[in-house]
Chain A
Amino acid sequence: DIQMTQSPSSLSASVGDRVTITCRATESIGNHYLSWFQQKPGKAPRLLIFAASNLETGVPSRFSGSGSGADFTLTISSLQPEDFATYYCQQTSSVPFTFGGGTSVEIK
């Protein structure tokens, strides 16, 4: 199975900060098979980024994704109050389609 490791597991940041979350796979998964999700308490995950760097319709442009092979990054260019949430990466290259352990973004 492909393991997905996110770092950090949590971070504290202020409104306006630039935030970067990394996701590393135990093997190359290509560019097409990496997604990023945002989840708020009591809600289903929401797709932010697909195919590593493509912004989902309706997602603010302050979110961006990059990377290839086994190393990927989610960046929030200027953190907004509504961005405080938990973020997950997921690979869909090979079953089982595993998720990272999550990164909780908290208010400093």
Chain B
Amino acid sequence: QVHLVESGGGLVKPGGSLRLSCAASGFSFSDHYMAWIRQAPGKGPEWISYISSSGATIYYAEAVEGRFTISRDNTKNALFLQMNSLRAEDTAVYYCVRDRYSTYDSWGQGALVAVSS
């Protein structure tokens, strides 16, 4: 059974940094593209980044390009999101998501990131 568990969320001041982690289990992690999707309070989901199975291909949404960095460690079945220069509008629940042939089929429970002074 696919299991994705995010950690590292919390309260941070504007301009600060956070690193989210996602521990994956129950599937062959190194065979799958992975993504981060966020959802601001009361809003719909927003795709922010994906990384290919090897890590060689990465894309970002314009809203986070240059501030966020996605990475993975296939030896540890882990996905990461380094978030720098955080803004109030980055406040959201951040989900780690598995890509199955261009479909996001498995989601973690989410990690809450709150950016406030």
Contacts and interface: CB of A to CB of B under 8 A. Distances in A.
Interface of A: 32-33, 35, 37, 39, 44-47, 50-51, 56, 88, 90, 92, 95-102
B47 A99 contact: yes
B103 A47 contact: yes
Nearest to A100: B44
Given A45-B45, A50-B103, A92-B104, 6 more contacts: A32-B102, A47-B103, A90-B45, A95-B47, A96-B61, A99-B46
A65 B111 CA distance: 30
Given A35-B103, A50-B105, A95-B59, A44 B47 contact: no
A28 B108 CA distance: 30
Q: Is the interface of A mostly helix, strand, loop or mixed?
A: loop
Contacts, number: 52
Interface residues of B, number: 20
A55 to B, nearest CB: 12
A39 B75 CA distance: 32
A47 B106 CA distance: 8
Interface of B: 35, 44-47, 50, 59, 61-62, 95, 100, 102-110
A101 B105 CA distance: 19
Nearest to A6: B44
A88 B46 CA distance: 11
Contact of A88 (B45, B61, B110): B45
B47 A98 contact: yes
B67 to A, nearest CB: 15
Interface centre among B44, B47, B109 (most CB of A within 10 A): B44
Contacts of B62: 96
5 contacts: A44-B95, A56-B105, A90-B45, A95-B61, A102-B44
